Structure 1
Amino acid sequence: MIDKTAYKVSELNPSERRAHMNRLLKWLLLLGFFLGVAQLLDTSTPPTPVLAETRAAPAPQYPQSDPGSYGYIPLVNVLWVSNTGLTAQPADTAVVYGANTRVTVPMTAVNQNGWFIFTGNKISSVSVNEYVNGSWQAVNVGTSISHSEPTSSADVTLPAGLSVGTHYYQATVHYPNDVRYSRVFTVNVAPQAVPATAITLSPQYPSILWGESTQVKATLTPENATTPINNWTTSLGSLDRTDSSLVNLTTTVPASATDASLKNEGTAATLHATSNGLTGTTQVTVGGITSQTLNEGATLSYHPTALDHLTGVVGTPTYTWHLYNANNQEQSWPDQSVTNKPTLTVPNASMALDGMYFQVTVSWQVTSGSNTTTINRYSNIAQLHVNQQSAQLIAVPNMMFAKADGQDPTVEDFAGTTPVVLRLKNTSQNQTSQAYDGNNANFLSVKGPQWSLAVAFNPFRQTASNAFLGGQTSTAIGQFNLGLNGQNIAITGDGNNQPVLTNQTRDLNATLNTNTTVTLPNGAVKRGTYQSIATWTVTRAPQ
């Protein structure tokens, strides 16, 4: 019979059992090393590459931890964790905004569940902080952890309805006795797509010179449309696309300022832009000037807006206005024309300008080192139209004569041996701007660019009997002297038209002065009032 008490084994408590097993594991490891067959395999997975940030990220709340790594003990095939942590970092995510949209961010970390009585390195939880208004704040997230060995996956679900913009996060992986920190990852929330219903193109400058450029902008309707501008085209020049909604149209200077292609009202550069199946269209007129129409005798003052936005000008540019005939041969501008300024000025336009062509060229010099280059800009070649104007007789005077002392002549004055000289009386009367005939202010007015003025004075007759002055025949007449514009103009009062002013090019607004006289022959006269009918005639001259 065996004494069983000699073989009684004391029962170990759990703490002692774990310590015993740990000592056993260490001996096994040492044995493997001594035999030269133990091999620790590092099977850690390198971090998953992520795209470079498109926006500057804030500094992490905690420095990013080293990646997790692990291996297996040979012979016994026991998992050996050399470093806890993430083997696959949370990646950046892009979503479109939605009130109920939730974002789930996956990650992978080293995980050791433990074996028998051995303590494991098991992931206990994952928490997330967000960078908001300059500080890191905890986020209430949902987590789902799938425990496995050697790694476990963890999915973090962020709150629903993230606002539009870029959100920055950092995850913390919790182990029983340790924590590990992820990289800073982003969730970029884009606004919901809003399709465009219309597209409008607007040039910065609707009219430019040859060689100049202008920006053209595309505007979508509605304003919050997210549809991109797909394509831009132009019928003339080249396009430099600044962004999807803005281009720069650039034109090229022709080889010659009188190139036949410039003889027009400007050349249209037609631009198209497309978005969401829609097409927007606009035009930029290349040339910069338009044909001008004015009345004969008027002043042409023309300043094209295309000269107000020249690009790349160095110093003071040179402006030259050119005048051409129908064969593109350069002609001289009329006297007193201003043709070297941005504004063309031509006073008193004559019919000789009708049908002519005009153009402006601009040049300046650019120096680089020892080289000097002349930069040219050309307008198109437009036409001048001058409307012929008829001369108009606006006002003629009633001329009242008296002796030098202002008194009316007497019968005795005519009884002498010398002719009687009577002077124009100064009879002031308010003038009006409207046409009037027979004014008492001695005022004479003619309007028109090309004209001649004549007058016919009939012999004096008595207003009561219609008898000639002194009983003369109609051939016995007076001699008039018109004091006008510093001249003394002699007119014979025989009833025939006689020139007063010829080939005039400007309006006349003048008052007869006191040098105006009438000389009547002496002889027997009868008491009464005598009158000569004056007929004024204006004609176009030269014909």
Structure 2
Amino acid sequence: MMTRYKRIKLWLLMAIVAFSGGLLLLLGVGSVYGADGNFNLGRLSPSFETGQTTILPAPPNQPSSPGAIILGIFAIPGFSQQPAAIKSNYYVDETVNVRWNVAVMFRLAIFPLIIKTSQYTIWLYHNQTASWDKVVDKRDGSPSQSLSFNATKSGTYLFQVEYYRDSIFGLKQDSYSQLFQVNVNPRPVPATGLAISDNGGLFNGVSSQLHAVTTPTDSTATIKNWHSDNPDLAITNQNGATTTATGTLKTDTDMPNDVGDAETATVTVDADNTGMTGGMVHAQKIVKIGGLDPLIVDESKVGSQTPIVFAPYGLSSIVNGKYDNKDMAPTYQWGYSDKDHPKTWSTAGFDKMGLDATQSTLQFKNVKQANRFSGDYFQLQVTIRNGGLDGTKNHTIYSNRALLTVNTLQPKQLTMISMPNLKFVTQAGTNVAIADLVKNPVTLVQAASTGATSGTENNNNQINISDNRATVNGWRLSLKMVPFHCITKGQGQVTYGSNSSGGLVTLKLNINNQAHAVKDNGQDTVVCQQAIAGDLNTVIKGAQLIIQPAKNVYAGQYQTQLTWTASSVPPANAPQGS
């Protein structure tokens, strides 16, 4: 009897357990089934590459309601932890890790045998084909799962995960995650160098683009801090590696159409290597503003029948930009100011000589034709119709004035094409006081270059001498500086230190890698010499003005006159002075 009772009790217990298991199956009670796993996907390409516009697509499956485990007993099926990358940002070729967790039914360890299927499907979106591709399809996995892959390119990787499970009793669970994305950035590449690409210059009042180019070109440094040293003359807008620059010449009532000579401004930009090696890298560029360069023609080099062309710079945004349609097409008119009437802007003589002065460039057919206007200043007028640069019906802008110089074959001579117009200022952060001049020498440094001016004056430290003589003699260049005198009203013609013979101020300069010192005593000092005939085109470097202390110093503004003289070297057998 006892034995029978025990058998009955055992069967009842098993029935209870089986029945209880069914209830537990429906309610989702129990511990985690299975162990954590990982899907290694190898190398993947991004859904959206860096720089592409990211517009999230519709998911391949509608995301399920969030799952949850309640008090460790009850389970609401679904993703209790949505898939997410371990880090917010990764770099190219770095291993990306993503984890998630699913709240599942039938979780008791006693029920492994009733689980029929436990699988994952993982989709990756590709913007190029606007499609979702399966990178994992119906592979077994546990509720707690992860995936890893190597990113081949920078960009955004967009995924969705599906979890599917069923049992031998026909109970199924199909859960879909929210869309999740992984951001992969290019590996940091510091900039070792930076340059501003050449835009050719700015036409007066017209915008153009300046581009900052890093070395190496794939640098991830941040381009910022565009700056002009003369915002009144040239302004820039902050815009990453490219900035819009606009240059506007100041009006000058002494010039035709109130536009002065060409000017220059220095534009700077930085490459920020923060977070990388190298710190801040800088670049600067001197930008021409005006539209026209002086045109110097040497017949011995270009040939008598070679066309001579005035070609403006900085007009590309007008000629090839939004103003080139029929209703807004720009019109052009060239004019000139002759050497005898510098304030009169004229088009006289163009038609008679067969010149078309209504194109964006002005072309002389040959040197003889151009020589008719040698020594004259040319200027281009551009008119934008029906809503110009400033929004008015018609808007007219003018280039700067530019000198045309034609050097014909006869006579052959030694000619100064351009000579430096030196200007000096106190060193940054200093100021010259009378007390300084009485006690100690004072050194002034060159002012920043301000572009070419009219005639032979040149504010870019340029010395350009043309020697087309037929002789074999060389030549020498000498420089004379007279004593500095005060030009402030009320002081009269007082010389510095009240020493009319000068000698208290020294100009130090480097020409063709040779150092020279010129005193303000009115004496000629040879600063360059060539043994044979030939041209010279060089730039003065490292000029300084050394002012010696003096007892009699008057406050005011002082100036002097520099006289450059180019003269032939006498032949070797010429008589020598005693």
Q: TM-score, normalised by structure 1?
A: 0.50
Aligned to 2:266: 270
Q: Is the 8 Å Cα contact of residues 208 and 214 (structure 1) preserved in structure 2?
A: yes
Cα distance change, pair 69–254 in 1 and its aligned pair in 2 (3 A):
same
Farther-moved stretch of structure 1 (186-195 vs 351-360): 351-360
Alignment equivalent of 1:381, drawn from 394, 401, 404: 401
Structure 2 distance, partners of 1:293, 1:7, is 125
Cα deviation, residue 307, structure 1: 7.5
Alignment equivalent of 2:90, drawn from 95, 104, 107: 95
Aligned to 1:199: 194
Q: Amino acid of the residue matched to residue 91 of structure 1?
A: A
Structure 2 distance, partners of 1:267, 1:123, is 83
Aligned to 1:224: 218
Cα deviation, residue 60, structure 1: 3.8
Alignment equivalent of 1:80, drawn from 63, 74, 85: 74
Structure 2 distance, partners of 1:353, 1:163, is 61
Structure 2 distance, partners of 1:130, 1:24, is 34
Q: Does 1:208 align with 2:198?
A: no
Structure 1 distance, partners of 2:114, 2:223, is 54
Q: Amino acid of the residue matched to residue 209 of structure 1?
A: F
Q: Amino acid of the residue matched to residue 329 of structure 2?
A: G
Aligned to 2:133: 136
Aligned to 1:169: 159
Q: Is the 8 Å Cα contact of residues 211 and 376 (structure 1) preserved in structure 2?
A: no
Cα distance change, pair 196–310 in 1 and its aligned pair in 2 (3 A):
closer
Q: How does 1:6-405 map to 2 (within 5 A)?
A: 10-12=9-11, 16-18=15-17, 20-21=19-20, 55-57=54-56, 59-69=58-68, 71=70, 79-81=73-75, 83-91=76-84, 93-98=88-93, 101-110=94-103, 127-131=120-124, 134=131, 136-139=133-136, 154-160=144-150, 164-175=154-165, 177-203=172-198, 205-235=199-229, 236-241=233-238, 244-252=240-248, 254=250, 262-264=259-261, 266-275=262-271, 276=273, 277-293=280-296, 301-306=308-313, 309=316, 311=318, 312=323, 314-323=328-337, 328-330=342-344, 335=349, 336=352, 338=355, 340-342=357-359, 343=362, 345=364, 356-367=376-387, 373-385=393-405
Superposition CA RMSD, Å: 5.0
SS at structure 2 position matched to 1:107: strand
Cα deviation, residue 287, structure 1: 0.9
Q: How does 1:516-527 map to 2 (within 5 A)?
A: none
Structure 1 distance, partners of 2:347, 2:132, is 75
- The superposition leaves residues 305-333 of structure 1 with CA deviations (integer Å, 9 ceiling, x where unpaired) of 33852523523514141315588521656
SS at structure 1 position matched to 2:149: coil
Cα distance change, pair 108–309 in 1 and its aligned pair in 2 (3 A):
same
- The superposition leaves residues 338-383 of structure 1 with CA deviations (integer Å, 9 ceiling, x where unpaired) of 4732316599679996654332222233259xx9532122211233
Q: Amino acid of the residue matched to residue 394 of structure 2?
A: T
Structure 1 distance, partners of 2:298, 2:249, is 33
Q: Amino acid of the residue matched to residue 16 of structure 2?
A: R
SS at structure 2 position matched to 1:90: strand
Q: Amino acid of the residue matched to residue 212 of structure 1?
A: V
Q: Amino acid of the residue matched to residue 273 of structure 1?
A: V
- The superposition leaves residues 507-537 of structure 1 with CA deviations (integer Å, 9 ceiling, x where unpaired) of xxxxxxxxxxxxxxxxxxxxxxxxxxxxxxx
Cα distance change, pair 367–327 in 1 and its aligned pair in 2 (3 A):
same
Number of matched pairs: 344
Q: Is the 8 Å Cα contact of residues 114 and 122 (structure 1) preserved in structure 2?
A: no
Cα distance change, pair 232–358 in 1 and its aligned pair in 2 (3 A):
same
Cα distance change, pair 57–121 in 1 and its aligned pair in 2 (3 A):
farther
SS at structure 1 position matched to 2:196: strand
- The superposition leaves residues 457-478 of structure 1 with CA deviations (integer Å, 9 ceiling, x where unpaired) of xxxxxxxxxxxxxxxxxxxxxx
Q: Is the 8 Å Cα contact of residues 113 and 120 (structure 1) preserved in structure 2?
A: no
Cα deviation, residue 95, structure 1: 0.9
- The superposition leaves residues 48-74 of structure 1 with CA deviations (integer Å, 9 ceiling, x where unpaired) of xxxx996245554433222124656xx
Q: Is the 8 Å Cα contact of residues 338 and 375 (structure 2) preserved in structure 1?
A: no
Q: Is the 8 Å Cα contact of residues 253 and 378 (structure 1) preserved in structure 2?
A: no
Cα deviation, residue 187, structure 1: 2.7
SS at structure 1 position matched to 2:268: strand
Q: Amino acid of the residue matched to residue 122 of structure 2?
A: N
Q: Is the 8 Å Cα contact of residues 249 and 290 (structure 2) preserved in structure 1?
A: no
Q: TM-score, normalised by structure 2?
A: 0.47
Q: Is the 8 Å Cα contact of residues 197 and 278 (structure 1) preserved in structure 2?
A: yes
Structure 2 distance, partners of 1:389, 1:69, is 96
Q: Is the 8 Å Cα contact of residues 140 and 159 (structure 1) preserved in structure 2?
A: no
Name structure 2 gaps, 5 residues minimum. 25-47, 167-171, 274-279, 413-578
Q: Give % identity.
A: 21
SS at structure 2 position matched to 1:329: coil
SS at structure 2 position matched to 1:321: strand
Aligned to 2:27: none
Q: Amino acid of the residue matched to residue 77 of structure 2?
A: T
SS at structure 1 position matched to 2:222: coil
SS at structure 1 position matched to 2:15: helix
Farther-moved stretch of structure 1 (229-238 vs 322-331): 322-331
SS at structure 2 position matched to 1:230: strand
Q: Is the 8 Å Cα contact of residues 143 and 155 (structure 1) preserved in structure 2?
A: no
SS at structure 2 position matched to 1:17: helix
Larger Rg: 1
Q: Is the 8 Å Cα contact of residues 144 and 155 (structure 1) preserved in structure 2?
A: yes
Structure 2 distance, partners of 1:273, 1:225, is 15
Structure 2 distance, partners of 1:295, 1:23, is 105
